[in-house]
């Protein structure tokens, strides 16, 4: 079962999120994975399990709670969570552009 998160750009009025690496939409998948689509059409899967279950996940420890993980949203083209955790959209774009999958290191 997946949860669809519509593209939720939180941009100040007059600002267009046009950079190719910006995330346009995200879908929550099982096992701490996300399916993403970037502005330029690049698509791929992001796996956060390695980071979340690492010895020192830092701010990402809150994402172990699947209900919290599912609260992912898009802010200014980046994936974020309510506690301030976010993922570098440029790095994500590079990795999924090369491999279609990005296992975020822990």
Q: Specify the length of the chain in residues.
A: 106
| Residue 13 pLDDT | 57
CATH fold for the domain made of 3-103: NE0471 N-terminal domain-like (3.30.2020)
Q: CA–CA separation, 86 vs 68, rounded Å?
A: 13
pLDDT tens digit sequence for 18-74: 788 999 999 999 999 999 999 999 999 999 999 999 999 999 999 999 999 999 999
**Extents of the domains making up the chain:** 3-103
Q: Which residues of 78-104 are buried (b: 16+ CB within 10 A; e: fewer)?
A: bbbbeeebbbebeebbebbbeeeebeb
Q: Which DSSP symbol is given to 15?
A: -
Query: Is the confidence at residue 7, as pLDDT, over 90?
Result: no
Residue 71 CA from chain centroid, whole number = 11
């Amino acid at each position: 079962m997946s949860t669809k998160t519509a593209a939720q750009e939180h941009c100040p009025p007059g600002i267009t999120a046009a950079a190719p690496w910006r995330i346009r939409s995200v879908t929550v998948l099982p096992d701490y994975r996300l399916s993403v689509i970037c502005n330029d059409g690049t698509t791929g899967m992001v796996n956060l399990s390695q980071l979340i279950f690492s010895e020192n996940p830092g701010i990402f420890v809150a994402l172990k709670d699947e209900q919290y993980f599912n609260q992912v949203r898009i802010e200014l083209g980046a994936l974020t969570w309510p506690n301030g955790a976010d993922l570098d959209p440029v790095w994500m774009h590079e990795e999924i552009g090369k491999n279609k999958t990005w296992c975020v290191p822990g």
